[in-house]
Amino acid sequence: MTALQGKVALVTGASRGVGRGVALGLGEAGATVYVTGRTLGGRHPDMPFLAGSLEETAADVTALGGQGVAVRCDHRDDAQTRAVIERIAADRGRLDVLVNNVWGGYEGLHLWDERGQKWGAPFWEQPLSLWDGMFGAGVRAHYVTTALAAPLLIGARGLVVNISFFAGQRHRGLENVPYFLAKNADDRMAQAFANHFRPHGVSAVSLYPGLVRTEGVLLAPEGTFDFTNSESPQFLGRAVAHLAADPEVLSRSGQTLVAAELALEYGFTDIDGKQPPSARASFEGE
């Protein structure tokens, strides 16, 4: 697939995990992909046990047929975010795809021997930093990046994708409260973006993966997850690439979409040739 040759994308939080996978999916479609994050030339400052860096992501994007550009950026700092957008404007003069993926709040939850207890604890027993991480480095960063990138996106009649998850649809049991609210906010924000952007031909959607085999998930103790129907991070990237290449994508603007359902519609597979089933039924049925 080379449908995105000549197109420019920005994927935030792309050193590893879902963001890295999205960048790779756009790269194999031929796009120039700017990847941002805090890990440039080393390990994650808060989670050194997780592999992955911006340079590695950018190199792999290029190896797949696109052009990867690594730019260090802490999206909690508006000045750094503005500098990224200004660089893209100076380098390319356009932005066709913005993927709001950067996220925070997980730092203390990647220690798997403690994660279950912390994640499912009553909200008053959880660290208050979860809220600040998920809303500051997540929801607010998505809003600011999109606002600053809006002129470039309008010029290209581009696409904004907020990476979210089913947990934002409704609160279930002891679902983590900041996580539920932050994902719900990202979904509602995509709807609001769509309303403002529609007259300018820019599309905005929220996109859900299933269980993704990220570096952090793969560190979980054996038996924590059933990977039978899991997805590679790149699978989500292929969903974004097909959306970006769809001339009718504006008709989807404001919607919440599921990568596995898009795979069936567009006819693409994961990197292992499989089509993972949508997790929608399992979440809506609980």
Catalytic residues: 179
Q: State both tokens at 116.
A: 């279950």
How far apart are the C-alpha atoms of 211 and 229, rounded to whole Å? 8
CB of 92 closer than 8 Å to CB of 34 = no
Note the residue count of the chain.
286
3-state secondary structure of 214: coil
Closest CA relative to residue 214, chosen from 176, 165, 173: 165
Cβ pair 126, 146 in contact under 8 A: no
End-to-end CA distance of the chain: 37
Helical pair 17-28 and 233-245, crossing angle rounded to 10 deg: 50
Give the C-alpha separation, 146 to 30, whole Å: 23
Q: List Cα–Cα distances, 151 to 46, 92, 154, 212, 281, in angstroms.
A: 33, 13, 5, 33, 38
**Beta-bridge partner residues of 9:** 33, 97
CB-CB contact of 202 with 159 (8 Å)? yes
C-alpha neighbours within 13 Å on the C-beta side of residue 20: 21
DSSP secondary structure letter of residue 212: B
- 159/254 Cα distance (integer angstroms): 11
